[in-house]
Amino acid sequence: MKHLLKSDQVYELILEKIRNNELPAGSKLPPEKDLAKQMGISCRTIRTALARLEDSQLIIRLRKQGTFIAGGKETPGRIDFPKMPESPKIQRNFHHKILVIYREGATDSSVSIVRNVEKYAASLHVETVELPLNFLETGKWENRAAWLKRQYFSAVIIPFHSFGTDSVLLRLPDLLHVPVVVPFGMDVLTAYDKFFVLRSMTRTAVYRALYHFYNKGHRKIGVIGLCKSTGEQHLHNVQSGELKFLCTDGFPIEEYAKAETKKEVWTAVDRLLEREKELTAIFCYNDFMAVTVIEYLQDLGKKVPDDVSVIGYGFSATGIAVVPPLTSVSLFIQERVKRTVDFILNGDYRKEILQAPEPQIIEYESVKDLNKEER
């Protein structure tokens, strides 16, 4: 049985208190120093645990205000489930009101987009309404459609990668006659000509991460992706086997975790090391996986980055808090949000002016330059 790290123990402890309502929604946590003193551990360990709780949407940390348990009525930045109005009042004002549709249990990147849209729009005195996709998919569509039309939204933002051809989201442009913007869309969404898409450029992100390894002298590279419940192997819109041309001698080696859990990631790392004992680098599907890989490699007695270098995807708070801090691919979420909202407010709806920022490598200390050893 694998022993949990202290930061994981803190995470599980706070999670259990949230589930037992010992820490009710909206309540404020003590400062980091006080928590560390109470638990007899370091502030660094507390920060690591809090970063993971934040990425899991369990807490909200606000500068100069403190740390709150997510979901309470007094918690800033919460996501509300809109109620169907019993006696809707017709709104005839023409101020901007943006509808943001999200998936419950969404990825860190999608949640971050929702939060950033809300924050940036508020700075411009623009109202936002957050609506779970489940609200549109359950019940009679006619009732949902009637409610949507009565709200007089000026635009819709969909912060996740893609959706099926049978999705109710495809009906929104014709129903509301407003721009529907996808600030994090896959290439497949460009087929829907009534949507405005900032392509996530996920293939570019993956290629840049692997080329970063290659330029640092790494030739024996592993990749850990995600195997969906449908059995599909997924690495940010890059199909299995498409990465072979990037490196020589049959690398990178691809492995896939069956779920985004520590146990599954450990198993994927074991398989990689079994296939190549001299592996020098691993690229991960997201920062949670990358942090888990770093901690597991250290438990195996391997040094990061001296023995194995690691790159994540998403550039999250969790990755910065780990030791060593994680090199990751940044998708520039804040910039995407700014371009999306500005695009809506400018009212010049031409696709050629909606340009997505390119992903970049944000380099910290989890990658070793092997070229320096050869000099």
The pLDDT assigned to 200 comes to: 72
Closest by CA position to 70, among listed 6, 116, 25, 23: 25
217 and 326 housed in the same domain: yes
What pTM, to 2 d.p., does this model score? 0.65
| CATH label of the domain that carries residue 54 | 1.10.10.10
Taking only the tens place, the pLDDT of each residue in 347-364 is: 777 666 677 778 889 999
Tokens 């599980």 sit on residue: 12
Taking only the tens place, the pLDDT of each residue in 292-335 is: 999 999 999 999 999 999 999 988 777 888 899 999 998 788 88
Q: How many domains does the chain have?
A: 3
Which of 200, 230, 254 marks a domain boundary?
200
213 and 243 housed in the same domain: yes
Q: Which domain holds residue 150?
A: 97-200
Q: Which string of DSSP letters, residue by residue, matches 358-375?
A: PPEEE--SS---THHHH-
Q: Which string of DSSP letters, residue by residue, matches 71-101?
A: T-TT-TT----PPPPSSPPPP---S-EEEEE
Rg of the chain over Cα atoms, rounded to whole angstroms, equals 22
Q: Which residues of the chain have pLDDT under 50?
A: 1-2, 72-94, 188, 191
163 and 286 housed in the same domain: no
Can you give the length of the chain in residues? Answer: 375
Q: CB–CB of 311/317 below 8 Å? A: no
Which of 69, 86, 106 marks a domain boundary?
69
187 and 324 housed in the same domain: no
152 and 223 housed in the same domain: no
Residue 79 within a domain = no
Residue 337 within a domain = no
The pLDDT assigned to 293 comes to: 96
Residue 81 within a domain = no
The pLDDT assigned to 92 comes to: 35
243 and 301 housed in the same domain: yes
- Using CA atoms, how far apart are residues 65 and 85, in angstroms rounded to an integer? 33
The pLDDT assigned to 62 comes to: 67
Residue 84 within a domain = no
- Using CA atoms, how far apart are residues 37 and 331, in angstroms rounded to an integer? 36
The pLDDT assigned to 79 comes to: 36
217 and 325 housed in the same domain: yes
Residue 221: C-alpha distances to residues 217, 282, 324, 330 (Å): 10, 6, 19, 20
For residue 9 the two structure tokens come to 């123990």
Residue 263 within a domain = yes
Crossing angle, helix 6-19 and helix 43-55, to 10 degrees?
Answer: 50
130 and 278 housed in the same domain: no
Closest by CA position to 185, among listed 69, 63, 70, 340: 340
For the chain, the maximum distance between any two Cα atoms, rounded to a whole number of angstroms, is 75
- Using CA atoms, how far apart are residues 168 and 354, in angstroms rounded to an integer? 24
242 and 369 housed in the same domain: yes
Residue 342 within a domain = no
241 and 368 housed in the same domain: yes
The pLDDT assigned to 239 comes to: 66
Closest by CA position to 283, among listed 236, 333, 213: 213
The pLDDT assigned to 109 comes to: 60
Which of 140, 167, 200 marks a domain boundary?
200
246 and 370 housed in the same domain: yes
Residue 343 within a domain = no
Q: CB–CB of 157/309 below 8 Å? A: no
105 and 65 housed in the same domain: no
Ordered alpha helix ranges (H), the chain: 6-19, 32-39, 43-55, 108-123, 133-137, 141-150, 172-176, 202-215, 262-275, 287-299, 317-321, 333-346, 371-374
- List strand residue ranges (DSSP E) for 220-262, in order: 221-227, 233-234, 253-257
For residue 43 the two structure tokens come to 């502030």
Q: CB–CB of 43/30 below 8 Å? A: no
Residue 350 within a domain = no
| CATH label of the domain that carries residue 229 | 3.40.50.2300
